[in-house]
Copies of this chain bind each other. A is one copy, B any other.
């Protein structure tokens, strides 16, 4: 597979793109976006800087590709784990667990929650998120409100705040915090919301 002779342009492009994204993912995690240099990056990917700048407009675009990859993976994992829950709140809680699981891939939380907003900007990150699957939370909350399972509250604000809570939960877990502790605290928040009529 590594032999570069006798290959269609398509395949060659796919290979180098993937090699670049993979190496970038690792180096961005290890050193952070700012400290990860393209010379080292392409060395790790086994290509040249020429290839990089042929496939990506700039370093930022490469990071964006990495982030989009991660988000797609998260979305896939969440969809895959979607079970049939009887109440909307149960669906939300199981969705939360799926999200926490999906975010435990090594370095993913750091990449998406720390490097991403600084490298691409908060706005762009928000955009990428909603392009993939973050609307899950928003929709779930809206449904729960409609079903009367939680009180009527400003949807955008509540979504943002709970989203942040989940993100931090994922980040803490990725850094070694106790999963049961985190889930206990999150559940208490959820159940409290439901009780708070």
Q: Which stretch from A41-49, A75-83, A114-122 is at the chain B interface?
A: A114-122
- A189 surroundings in chain B (CB, below 8 A): 161, 189, 192-193
* Nearest-CB residue, chain B, relative to A179: B157
Interface size class, chain A? 35 or more
A157–B167 Cα distance when bound, in Å, is 13
Report the copy number of this chain in the oligomer. 2
Task: Determine whether A181 belongs to the interface, using a CB cutoff of 8 Å to chain B.
Answer: yes
- Bound-state Cα–Cα, A110 to B105, Å: 27
Task: Report whether A161 and B165 are in contact in the complex, using a CB–CB cutoff of 8 Å.
Answer: yes
Question: What are 20 inter-chain pairs, A to B, with CB distance below 8 A?
Answer: A33-B118, A110-B122, A118-B119, A122-B171, A122-B175, A151-B188, A153-B185, A153-B188, A154-B185, A160-B168, A160-B169, A160-B185, A161-B165, A161-B169, A161-B189, A163-B168, A189-B189, A192-B194, A192-B196, A195-B195
Query: Which residues of A does B touch, CB under 8 Å?
Result: 32-34, 110, 114-115, 117-119, 122, 151, 153-154, 156-158, 160-165, 167-169, 171-172, 175, 177-178, 181-182, 184-186, 188-189, 191-196
Given A114-B118, A157-B177: 10 more A-B contacts, CB < 8 Å: A110-B122, A115-B118, A154-B182, A156-B177, A158-B185, A164-B167, A189-B192, A189-B193, A192-B192, A195-B195
